[in-house]
Structure 1
Amino acid sequence: MSSYLTILGFNSAIPTINTSPTAQFLEMEDRHFLIDCGEGTQVQLRKAKVRFSKINHIFISHLHGDHCFGLPGLIASFRLLGRDKPLNVYGPEGIKEMLETIFRITETYRGFEIIYHELNKNYSEKIYEDNRVEVFTIPLNHRIYCNGYIFKEKEKERHLNMSEISKYSEIETCDYQNIKNGKDFELSDGYVLKNEKLTTEPSPPISYAFCSDTRYLEDVIPIIKNVNVLYHESTFLHNLKEMADYTGHTTAFEAAQIAKAANVKKLILGHFSNRYGDLSVFTDEARQIFPATFLPKALETIKLE
């Protein structure tokens, strides 16, 4: 089962005709996660043909408007579409107060439960886990409390070696799951078929790291080590490093340094200042350090591998 990332929005604070503030839709092991929810996110979800009912977990990096102002409207639309199952919202302390205040003042009736997971730790912690996927925070250094997130597939099942299995009539379809889980198979005469003979190695697990607004921060490197794809903000080019530091942001050069040090396979830049008309200058700068650097495209779906 493949994992896919859809870029819904990637520019900084101000929406433009062709781009939207930060929001991403991640499909991993048949789970569906929304990462940040800037203004206009639900329109972008519509354009991407994402069924709203699939989204049960929303991860907000921080409470600056370009990362969360789309959330009240999206939740209101959930209600209008008849949602009745719980919605999990992960974000900084204060996100519950923000949303509940808006719902109270606007007399917005939801009809479903919102389960808030408010975050305040300055170290990486596991905040979500099921039998296939786990999610950890990536503490960042912005002007206000901010986390990135790393999404990891768990170790996958082994692949059946059907050319070998077909040699033994005693092995039935109902035995396949145990074999995929790594168990040996005992024949009626007592002979044990080792699992290594009946299976091949599983596909390697996929990981994706989302580093939202942050100053250059080497602390993230061990957390995101060896991820398949890293999204890292790069609001400015390196000739404006002083401005980046002052405003709590990173340069393209610095994002590439992080990617190289963490040995990631692919780097996607984002959160560009509107002062730049031609975004290719970001990859020009970053590829000097990390050649596997790419620009996002609105509504582009990327296979994580």
Structure 2
Amino acid sequence: MNRLVLLGTKGGPAIRAKGAMPTSTLLELDGRRVVVDCGLGVTKALVEAGMDLKTLDLIFITHLHSDHILELGPLIHTAWTTGLNTPVTLYGPEGIEAYWQGFLQSLAYDIAIRVEDEGRTPLTELIRVQTYAEGPVLTGDLAVSALWVPHPPLQHCYALRFDGSKSVTLSGDTAYHPPLAEFAKGADVLLHEAMLPEAVELIVKKTGLGDKLRAHLFAAHTKADDCARIAQAAGVGQLVLNHLIPADDPRFTAEDWYQRCATVWNGPVTLGYDGLELLL
């Protein structure tokens, strides 16, 4: 069964009671299990989505903001203590190797004890870390390619395209970036980060972070109607809005998102939520 499961759909690292969790996604395509980004809550969400953690296969990280990597190490460690004993390849941008080595160091005491006392295969023998940049990342039955996207101040942030019997493109975190349309051309699904600009002032006021946060949000993220522009230009089968800003403000409803997209594109649009499963 091919499916795309949105495990966490909130933009940003903060969490609230009964609110959405930060970004993570599961793509099951042609027998491969791919986790894209590992925000807080990814491990439990994968289990609730029915995935056996021992079958963890591929992990892709789009960039190194905390809401995309905070539970990366804990996910791998939990899969390992669950019984993972087959290789996992971790793909990430520049800096991913340093992150992984730092995580191993932080849990060196626990890992060494479990290897000695429980007979587990050392994590260093199971996890293969690969740094990627723009261009082809994987070839074969599952082809993966990356496109650099603007998400200042980060220099290494990427959209990802997965091609097998179906095609899925994930925008990563990005400002409006027209080249993404060519990258996503003809994809069955475009999963694009999205922001409601009318919510920005409320977010700024709520956090008390002022002009710097406002400037960051507008410089580094994509308005919902611009997501629709990318979808229209790419001719995708379906647009799914993800990494939502805001994700948990009751003053905004699904209709606000859909109305913004409808001004540009009349194709199918789905507003993401935690646990949403799309069959491909």
Please, what TM-score do these two structures have when normalized by structure 1?
Answer: 0.76
Q: Which runs of 5+ in 2 are unaligned?
A: 112-121, 202-213
Q: How many residue pairs align between the two structures? A: 248
RMSD of Structure 2 on Structure 1 (CA) = 2.0
Q: Does 1:289 align with 2:249?
A: no
- 8 Å contact 1:236–1:244 — kept in the other structure? no
- 8 Å contact 2:54–2:85 — kept in the other structure? no
Secondary structure at the aligned position of 1:234 is classed as strand
- 8 Å contact 1:237–1:285 — kept in the other structure? no
Secondary structure at the aligned position of 1:271 is classed as strand
Identity among equivalent pairs (%): 25
Name the stretch that deviates more: 240-249 or 206-215: 240-249
Match in the other structure for 2:137: 127
- 8 Å contact 1:225–1:263 — kept in the other structure? yes
Counterpart residue type for residue 258 of structure 2: T
Match in the other structure for 1:199: none
- 8 Å contact 2:53–2:84 — kept in the other structure? no
Distance in 2, matches of 1:245 and 1:83, equals 39
1:35-114 alignment to 2 at 5 Å? 35-107=36-108, 108-109=110-111, 110-111=122-123, 112-114=125-127
Distance in 2, matches of 1:65 and 1:71, equals 10
Distance in 2, matches of 1:85 and 1:12, equals 32
- 8 Å contact 2:56–2:79 — kept in the other structure? no
The structure showing larger relative contact order (alpha-carbon pairs under 8 Å, at least 6 residues apart) is 2
Match in the other structure for 2:118: none
- 8 Å contact 1:244–1:250 — kept in the other structure? no
Counterpart residue type for residue 105 of structure 1: S
Counterpart residue type for residue 188 of structure 2: N
Q: Does 1:264 align with 2:274?
A: no
Match in the other structure for 1:302: 278
Return closer, same or farther for 1:244/1:230 CA change in 2, 3 Å cut-off: farther
Structure showing the higher helix proportion among its residues = 2
Match in the other structure for 1:7: 6
- 8 Å contact 2:192–2:239 — kept in the other structure? yes
Deviations 1:155-177 (A, max 9, x none): xxxxxxxxxxxxxxxxxxxxxxx
Counterpart residue type for residue 231 of structure 2: A
Match in the other structure for 2:210: none
- 8 Å contact 2:239–2:269 — kept in the other structure? yes
Deviations 1:74-112 (A, max 9, x none): 111122122222110011111111121121132152434
Q: Does 1:137 align with 2:146?
A: yes
Following superposition, the deviation at residue 302 of structure 1 comes to 0.4
